[in-house]
Amino acid sequence: MRISYRHIKRYKEIAQVMIKYGFSFIIERINKDGSGSKIDVSSSEPKDDIKNMTSGQRLRLALQELGPTYIKLGQILSTRRDLLDQDIIDELKKLRDNVKTFDTDIAIAIIEEEIGDEIENIFSDFDKNPIAAASIGQVYNAVLKSGEKVVVKVQRPDIEGKIKSDLEILKRVTSSIQDIIKDYNVDMKEMVEELSSQLLRELDYNFEAVNAIKMKKIFEYSDEVYIPTMHMEYTTKKVLIMEKIDGIKLSDIDLIKEKGWDTKKIANIGVKAFLKQVFSYGFFHADQHPGNIFVLNESKIAYIDFGMIGIIDNKMLNFLNRFALAASEKNVEKIVRVLSDIDAITDETDVEGFKQEMLYMIHYYYDVPLERISIGTILNEIFRFFRKYKIVMPSQLITLAKTVITLEGTGRTLDPDFSAKEISKAFLKHYYKNRVNPKNIAIETKQNVEEIMLDVKNIPKQIKNVLRMIEKNNIKISVEELKMTRIEDCLKELTTQMTMALVLASIIVGSSLIIASPNVEKNIWIKYMAIAGFFISFVIGLVLVIQIIKVKFKRR
């Protein structure tokens, strides 16, 4: 499928950047498949300074130069430890949205057009110096007419068209790129769909506002976590206005310590807040790096930026529990069964190799004290195994694992002694508290009964569908490559025996007709020919019988 004419100019820009950073082989493949406009890659040797860079560095710089769509792609890839090696992830994590600011007059025009009112009627004060500029939007400080301090996010002009153009190009060349990365456990089509969904949500600030409202409801009565208020009356697709948080960013650890606040206590508040989101609501802030968390005082934190949200259901939480129990029992067979239950084991998985490495890892970490264990290290090791043995994890778990790794890093920023022990204790407390909660037990029982009843109810319909397919002769049997060598040998033996039997029958019939002919006495050679035919038939018949007996004995 070729790239449409309206995207050719952008495709050529992308191709030139890829060639510049030593990825001309990708353009060559796209040229070969005819997905895009032919780009000359004959003089595609990168400069010496680029040649001396690692693959991860070249990839990061290329994505950065290509703009917001590709920066977001890199940021998504930096969370996929199940797909990429750590050295590439470390480089992609350096990708930042910091870009040049656009004119504030343009931002004001967008605000007025979106809200449908002049800026003087909305704000009593609007600081025209942006406090941050990202690839999608720009951020300003302002004060509403009511006197409330707010933060205003304004989407960049024409950014939606650029992103949609880039996504269209990516979708067109997906099959070509998939062939290049076929040795990696990466579904390029799925990756582009994930990128597309995330970017299109980020292009509509209403999604972020709704996420924040849900999060505010979770911590409505909390004394330890605060969620800023969203001003929905002013929020549109391209403009977001939210309450300004007056606090200290978690990344400014020196200022927090200057205040004399207990950083260990703050870290524990963050862990408890995260586990409450996961276990009680299955809805959590999925971008918990220090820049997105403010410390309001020694006993209270606040979240900002709700563009990335994770969702996890009871099925996945039960899987985590079963996986952890199987690991604690050093039972790799049970681990494989648990992974099979969520369809993580693929046809390409080397199950025996996976069992051996997983058993080694369990024994390695089993007796190590929890305070000396890094959850990030363990998860990265598990992801390496999954990538190596082509085990596919559900996106829910990947997002959760990525958030846990980020949370551990944030915890260590606050408390150098922060360890897996802190998270594990809080995890077990929340998990079993939810497990023994009568309300949760009743809900789970009801769901299980409803699922069983639905399955029972569907049985007659499923039987009817199967019978209808049989009646229409629509049943198809898929033959896998199972013992195909043996099947081929059997077919060869059968074909040889049938051929010899046909030749034997033909010679016997022919010789019999010759003997029965009235001319046989007139020519002695005709008589000898008939006798020779019977002799040859005897030999062939004897060989055929011996071969049949030999095959039977071999099978026994």
- Catalytic positions are 287
Q: Can you name the residues that pair with 249 across neighbouring β-strands?
A: 294
Q: What are phi and psi of 194, to 5 degrees?
A: -65, -45
Three-state secondary structure of 248-279:
EECCCHHHHHHCCCCHHHHHHHHHHHHHHHHH
Q: How many helices (H) and strands (E) does the chain have?
A: 23, 11
Q: Alpha carbon 106 to chain centroid distance?
A: 37
| Bridge pairing between strands 225-226 and 239-243 | unpaired
Residue 393 is classified by DSSP as: P
Nearest to 430 by CA among 261, 251, 282: 282
- What are the residues facing 310 on neighbouring strands? 284
Structure tokens at 117: 């009112």
Name the helix (H) or strand (E) containing 164.
Answer: helix 159-172
Distance CA 127, CA 236 (A): 20
Residue 226, H or E segment: strand 225-226
For residue 87, give both structure tokens.
């050295």
Q: Tell me which residue of 529, 3, 51, 10 sits closest to 20, measured CA to CA.
A: 51
Q: At a CB cut-off of 8 Å and minimum separation 6, what does 476 contact?
A: none
Residue 96 tokens read as 């930042």
Cα dist from 248 to 148, 242, 243, whole Å: 19, 17, 15
Residue with tokens 């199972």: 482
Q: Which residues pair with 297 in a beta bridge?
A: 300
Query: What residues have CB less than 8 Å from 358, skipping those under 6 apart?
Result: 332, 335, 385
Q: Among candidates 423, 446, 424, which has minimal Cα distance to 270?
A: 423
Give me the residue label for tokens 């019988």: 545
Separation CA 65–CA 57 (nearest Å): 12
Other beta carbons within 10 angstroms of residue 270's beta carbon come to 23
Cα separation values, 219 from 224, 290, 446, Å: 9, 19, 27
Query: 424: which residues sit within 8 A by CB, 6+ positions away?
Result: 370
Q: What is the DSSP letter of 279?
A: I
Identify the residue whose tokens are 């790239």: 3
